[in-house]
Amino acid sequence: MPTPQAVAAPLTACATFLTLTLAHPPTPTLLSTVRNTLSSLPDIVKNVAIRDATSSVYCTVGIGAQAWSSLTRAPQPAELARGFQPIKGAKHSAPSTPGDLFLHLRGPRRDLTFELERLILAAFGESVRVADATAGFRYFDARDLLGFVDGTANPVGSAVGPCVTVNGDEDGAGAGGSYLVVQKYLHDLSGWNRLKAEDQESIVGRTKWDNVELDDAAPSAQKSHKTLATIDKDGKEYDILRDNMPFGSPGEDQYGTYFISYTARLWVVEKMLQRMFIGVPEGKHDRILDFSTPVTGGVYFVPPVETLVAMGDDD
């Protein structure tokens, strides 16, 4: 059985989200550098983790559809070819933005994630370009900047694996890996904070302070974020694993939530986003989007550790 990357690592205090594109033209020498760096990531993580034996440091890497065949000889996972499909609703849109590699760096302290990012980028050298680098932080008791607990619906315990790890019977090419969907959302906190707490709760679908789930709205009524983000098919509910984090600085007046989700089935996240941006019924979009705007969108596949390490032998 292939060994999954650290997709299901516990929530950390700090994270860095790195979106990289391959340098152009992607010469054989540059591609070799990328493959060798990817295969050496476990060693780079160990070199940082050794600085604090009491802490855990993680690096999860995903590969985009356009870069897959250039970097690995493994068959492309079935759903990866679609990439991130842009969504245009009546009022809000979800863009697709460039990215060949995505690195999710996690640790208990900012100095550790900083050092991990520094060493990885130094190893890549001129073979990649940084499309986006966002540092996230844990906010109080795992809340987003809107003030609500985030990730409440995450699977736990033995339920995590089937939700995030691709089953070979469903997608043989992706066995042992995970699909990764990311979006960077910017918040209008001034507008959000002008709302009454009960209006905020109605939008989110949970109480703000004690995180109690509210009843679903009637079928034809405006639905909450919680309801729109819940995916049912043939009487079965499909979960995803979120590791969202707040980011930003009040002094720069730019802040938001970095949405990052791991799933064994890409279609689950796609359907969730369609429901949010198009609405159910159509036209009744997720009202959280009136205060939270996505500026990036990407889909990647997180291969098993064995596939990653073997890339160093592909020259």
- In 3D, which of 265, 107, 276, 252 has the Cα closest to residue 183? 276
Residue with tokens 């060693």: 43
- Among 132, 150, 171, 286, the one annotated catalytic: 150
The span from the CA of 38 to the CA of 307, in Å, is 10
Q: What is the CA radius of gyration of the chain?
A: 19
Contact assessment for residue 262 and residue 164, using Cβ atoms and an 8 Å cutoff:
yes
Structure tokens at 141: 């008791």
Q: Quick check: is 150 catalytic? A: yes
Structure tokens at 245: 């984090």
- In 3D, which of 308, 312, 295, 306 has the Cα closest to residue 17? 295
The span from the CA of 301 to the CA of 311, in Å, is 15
Active-site residues: which are they? Answer: 150
